[in-house]
Amino acid sequence: MPIPEQRDLEATRKILGEWLRDKVGDVEVSQLVIPGGTGYSNETLLFDAGDAGYVLRVKPTGYQLFLEADFERQFDIMKIVSESTQVPMPQMLWFEPEASWLGAPFFVMSKVAGQIPSDNPCYNTEGFLFDATVEQRRRLWESALDAFTGLHRQVPADAVRFLAKPERGATGFDQQWSYWTDSFEWAAQGREQPVADAALAWLQGNMPSEHPTGFAWGDARPGNMIFDDFECRAVLDWEMVSLGGHLSDIGWWLFLDRFHSEGYGVPRLEGLGSRAETLAVWEDRVGPTAGVEWYEIFAGFKFALIMIKLSQLFEHWEMMPAADARALERDNPVTAVLSTMLREV
């Protein structure tokens, strides 16, 4: 269900040719392509120029999926990770702060060849991972965890201090809690959200005693990685990066893994590591996971808020009737999984 196309792609292609002239010379820019299955937080376009392939991301100027776009720091953190770790990343090439070119700031990175496990349709139901052998799936899972845990072992703490938002709290945990509770108020618009409300009450009543500060990728999952021959070649999508702590990342990973099975009513693919196996790898490479259940509920709460905003986006772009969009805010596959988890804790 893509967002209706708003940009004149041919005019944009010509503008990019002019913009690239000072960087790579006078090159012909190919037809622009909107990647299939692309997310809703940033406009993304693929193109070739000369002998190289590029990915363009444009800062959102209309409908915002997140309370704070923090667009420039996405480029900054990706550049830091690509230059200071062994984690596979695209090469971060240029950031353009001026809106005069494309109507908003944008950045360009190298295109990485490969495949991405699909959200829609879910990779547990069809696609290259569904068609793969058990051994190939296992290789992908192990490679994904290599990259994921590598982030938490290799990203220099001093290099990511700029991610702090001290106006929101004393620690990275406090800052993230403030951000997401404010996001709930912003997204809900005063309307009752039964499952998200219940999750917030549980989270408040079971708050961890420790409030850490530590790097977190934010949207940690195989669906934000590019794979070639079932090996991770690039880690993508950094809109949710923070200093919320390591457990926030593994909690998100575990919730999304469960969601891609239970949320679609299908079993997990054989060969993908279980929750217990994932936690064992994490504990061996990163550290203890005591209290991770709280972060799994927190992940479900955050995802529920994103679904509220997506439902509003569908209404905004007239992609579904308003009544259906309002119903989807409260009742969707994410809230179904989160509701089940709340009954279990």
State the average pLDDT for the chain. 95
Q: Tell me, what's the pLDDT at 2?
A: 47
Q: From 77, 89, 209, 50, select the one nearest 156 (Cα to Cα).
A: 77
CA distance 326 to 189: 11
CA distance 60 to 79: 20
For the chain, give the percent of residues with pLDDT over 70: 97
**Other Cβ atoms closer than 10 A to 306:** 18
- Under DSSP, is residue 20 helix (H, G, I), strand (E, B) or coil? helix
Same domain, yes or no, for 21 and 74? yes
The domain that holds 240 is classified in CATH as 3.90.1200.10
Query: Looking at the domain assignment, is residue 327 inside a domain?
Result: yes
CA dihedral 18, 19, 21, 22 (to 10 degrees): 140
Same domain, yes or no, for 48 and 92? yes
Relative orientation angle of helices 292-316 and 333-344, to the nearest 10 degrees: 160
Mean pLDDT over 300-319 rounds to 94
> Any bridge partners for residue 232, and if so which?
227
Query: Looking at the domain assignment, is residue 321 inside a domain?
Result: yes
CA distance 345 to 336: 15
Mean pLDDT over 214-218 rounds to 97
Indicate if the pLDDT at residue 320 is higher than 70. Answer: yes
Same domain, yes or no, for 263 and 330? yes
Query: Looking at the domain assignment, is residue 165 inside a domain?
Result: yes
Q: From 178, 263, 162, 174, select the one nearest 213 (Cα to Cα).
A: 174
Query: Looking at the domain assignment, is residue 97 inside a domain?
Result: yes
Chosen domain end from 65, 84, 110: 110
Structural domain of residue 69, as residue ranges?
A: 9-110
Residue-wise pLDDT tens digits, 117-168? 999 899 999 999 999 999 999 999 999 999 999 999 999 999 999 999 999 9
Query: How many domains does the structure of the chain reveal?
Result: 2
Indicate if the pLDDT at residue 274 is higher than 90. Answer: yes
Residue labelled with tokens 């905003």: 309
Indicate if the pLDDT at residue 298 is higher than 70. Answer: yes
Residue-wise pLDDT tens digits, 47-59? 999 999 999 999 9
Residue 43 contacts residue 7 (beta carbons within 8 Å): yes
Show the beta-strand stretches assigned E in the chain.
43-49, 52-58, 92-96, 106-110, 225-228, 231-235
Instruction: Report CA-CA distances (Å) from 316 to 3, 190, 326, 341.
Output: 10, 18, 11, 31
CA 177, 182, 186, 189 torsion-angle sign: positive
